């Protein structure tokens, strides 16, 4: 993933001028082929985007005369420049990356939920873990400790700070370090960090190795927190309104299907990730409610202001559908 959201957004800002110089909205990935519109969708190859792959497999996009090419990205911060430049027609990204982009006046707009927290303490698809014999039992005790997150200044450290505050601790003294999710279980087990924020499937792997969960940071940040969204540019929404409507209908049907058929969601994971089938079978899936929880996104934006990720209050109404 990009090392910092801010640097990725800066790159995106530079690409805005390039995108504005485009000569045709029908060129490239948006071209019609026998009545079918080909689109490129930027998405991280993780559990969260199972509905996208399942929707393609079930023909929900084909029903809307859309042929999807999924292009793997490393996260929302990396997907933003791709959408702004026109490399992707649509993309999946966490809402913190999108809020930062919007705060810097990039014309991005969410069109559908990506995934959400389960809203259940101790039963979410991610959380803060510590070594099995650690004296830390609550998020408050992370004060002054080292906590691993996959990206600095993003949704991980923002929600971990929320957990610490909720438990009565002081998040200002926490040292956050970047570590890829796949490396976190071993780092926790070897006590190279005091704690780590991990999501599935690595969350289950860490617990299988003895790590203990001390907080569900998404749950602590806001009730039924919307984690990510599918998004595009305002230009695409305006100039390709029919395509946007059809894509939104297809992804919303895909989200609903994945939520109602978790076994099929687990199965499709094996087609685009390297998750161990045994882990895929037992891990906790995110919620795919199909609805963006606007209040929870505003709460995230307010937390970002408190933590200095943005410099002024952001009204998320400009970002959300």
228 and 190 part of one domain: no
241 and 191 part of one domain: no
In the chain, how many domains are there? 2
Boundary (domain end) residue, out of 221, 236, 260? 221
Quick one: pLDDT at residue 34? 55
Quick one: pLDDT at residue 66? 98
Q: In angstroms, what CA-CA distances link 66 with 31, 39, 116, 194?
A: 11, 7, 25, 47
- What pTM does this model have? 0.86
238 and 146 part of one domain: no
Q: For the segment 245-280, what is each residue's pLDDT rounded down to a tens digit?
A: 999 999 999 999 999 999 999 999 999 999 999 999
217 and 228 part of one domain: no
Average pLDDT, the chain: 90
193 and 148 part of one domain: yes
Cis amide linkage into residue 201, ω under 30° from 0: yes
Can you list the residues of the chain whose pLDDT is less than 50? Answer: 1-29, 31, 33
Quick one: pLDDT at residue 75? 73
Boundary (domain end) residue, out of 160, 192, 221? 221
Query: Which sign does the torsion angle of CA 146, 99, 77, 18 carry?
Result: negative
104 and 170 part of one domain: no
Contacts of 213 (CB under 8 A, 6+ apart): 122, 127, 128, 129, 207
194 and 238 part of one domain: no
> Which residues span the domain enclosing 175?
126-221
Quick one: pLDDT at residue 125? 97
Boundary (domain end) residue, out of 170, 202, 221? 221
252 and 132 part of one domain: no
105 and 231 part of one domain: yes
Q: Tokens at residue 202, please? A: 């690595």
67 and 183 part of one domain: no
39 and 173 part of one domain: no
Quick one: pLDDT at residue 74? 75
105 and 169 part of one domain: no
């Amino acid at each position: 993933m990009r090392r910092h959201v801010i640097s990725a957004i800066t790159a995106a800002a530079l690409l805005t001028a390039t995108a504005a110089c485009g000569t045709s909205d029908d060129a490239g990935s948006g071209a019609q082929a026998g009545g079918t519109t080909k689109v490129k969708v930027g998405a991280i190859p993780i559990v969260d985007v199972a509905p996208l792959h399942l929707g393609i497999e079930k023909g929900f996009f084909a029903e809307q005369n859309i042929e999807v090419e999924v292009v793997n990205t490393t996260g929302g911060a990396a997907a933003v420049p791709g959408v702004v430049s026109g490399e992707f027609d649509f993309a999946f990204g966490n809402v913190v990356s999108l809020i930062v982009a919007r705060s810097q006046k990039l014309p991005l707009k969410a069109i559908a939920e990506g995934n959400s927290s389960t809203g259940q303490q101790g039963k979410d698809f991610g959380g803060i873990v510590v070594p099995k014999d650690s004296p830390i039992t609550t998020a408050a005790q992370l004060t002054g400790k080292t906590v691993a997150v996959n990206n600095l200044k993003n949704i991980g450290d923002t929600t971990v700070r929320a957990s610490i505050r909720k438990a009565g601790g002081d998040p200002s003294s926490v040292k956050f370090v970047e570590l890829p999710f796949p490396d976190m279980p071993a780092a926790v087990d070897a006590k190279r960090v005091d704690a780590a924020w991990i999501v599935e499937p690595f969350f289950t792997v860490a617990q299988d190795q003895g790590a203990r969960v001390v907080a569900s940071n998404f749950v602590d940040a806001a009730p039924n927190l919307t984690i990510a969204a599918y998004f595009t540019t305002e230009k695409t929404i305006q100039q390709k309104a029919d395509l946007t409507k059809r894509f939104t209908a297809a992804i919303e049907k895909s989200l609903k299907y994945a939520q109602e058929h978790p076994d099929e969601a687990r199965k499709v994971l094996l087609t685009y990730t390297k998750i161990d089938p045994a882990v895929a079978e037992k891990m906790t899936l995110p919620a795919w409610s199909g609805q963006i929880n606007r209040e929870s996104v505003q709460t995230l934006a307010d937390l970002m202001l408190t933590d200095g990720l943005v410099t002024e209050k952001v009204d998320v109404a400009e970002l959300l559908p």
